[in-house]
Amino acid sequence: MQKLKQQDNAAFRYLYMHYRGALFNIILQVIPQNEAAADVLQEVFVQIWKNIDKYNEEKGRLFTWMLKLTGNMAIHQTRSKNFKVHSKNEDITNYVSTIDQKIEAPTGINHIGLRQQVHKLKPEYIAVLELSYFQGFKQEEIAEALNIPLGTVKTRLRSAIIELRKEFM
């Protein structure tokens, strides 16, 4: 860990070789095109390199930190590419209306992954996990878009993730 914090070249090479597959899979769940996903993977590792001093070991494992960063960057990429023109509120309405289609075909490619597992759950669980994890919306925004109370979003998210854990692990 210390070598990583010193931005040691060999340590970063190891980090990349060890974790690239797991993180690439996460990106592919959001961006199913191999080349575009590889670009994001590069940007993810550049950000890991630049921000490694901000990683706090007491707050969790390095992988968890990288996982969150990867998810955020993948979502950021899809938003900046596809939804530049629209305001955030319009975005979420679009997402909600396309959730039904996404249940049929979550990604273009058949990845064995998180998103596929999510899409095996109940529709109301799919909706909250899709919007929060794969689209990066806040709980308040989801409540508004689905027209349900914030408390319901919270309960559904918790039940959904427990279900997912049972399926996934």
CA distance 29 to 76: 14
Among 1, 3, 5, 13, binds other proteins (CB under 8 A): 13
Among 84, 101, 112, 147, binds other proteins (CB under 8 A): 112
Stretch that binds other proteins, among 2-10, 77-85, 90-98, 118-126 (CB under 8 A): 2-10
Q: Per-residue x/- marks for other proteins, 80-99, CB under 8 A?
A: --------------------
Among 4, 25, 83, 152, binds other proteins (CB under 8 A): 25
22 interacts with other proteins by CB under 8 A:
yes
- For residue 26, give the H/E element and its range: helix 9-30
CA distance 69 to 46: 11
1 touches 62 (CB < 8 A): yes
CA distance 139 to 49: 30
C-alpha distances out from residue 125 to 14, 132, 137, Å: 37, 11, 15
> How far is it between the farthest Cα atoms of the chain?
51
79 interacts with other proteins by CB under 8 A:
no
In terms of CB distance, is 126 or 161 closer to other proteins?
Answer: 161
Among 73, 74, 126, 161, binds other proteins (CB under 8 A): 161
DSSP state of 106: S
DSSP state of 147: T
Q: In the complex, what is the shortest distance from the CB of residue 89 to other proteins, in angstroms, rounded to a whole number?
A: 19
Alpha-helical (H) ranges within 34-122 are 34-51, 62-82, 88-104, 114-118
Binding site for other proteins (CB under 8 A): 7-9, 12-13, 16, 18-22, 24-26, 28, 34-35, 37-38, 41-42, 45-46, 49-50, 59-61, 63-64, 67-68, 71-72, 111-113, 132-133, 138-139, 154, 157-162, 164-165, 168-169
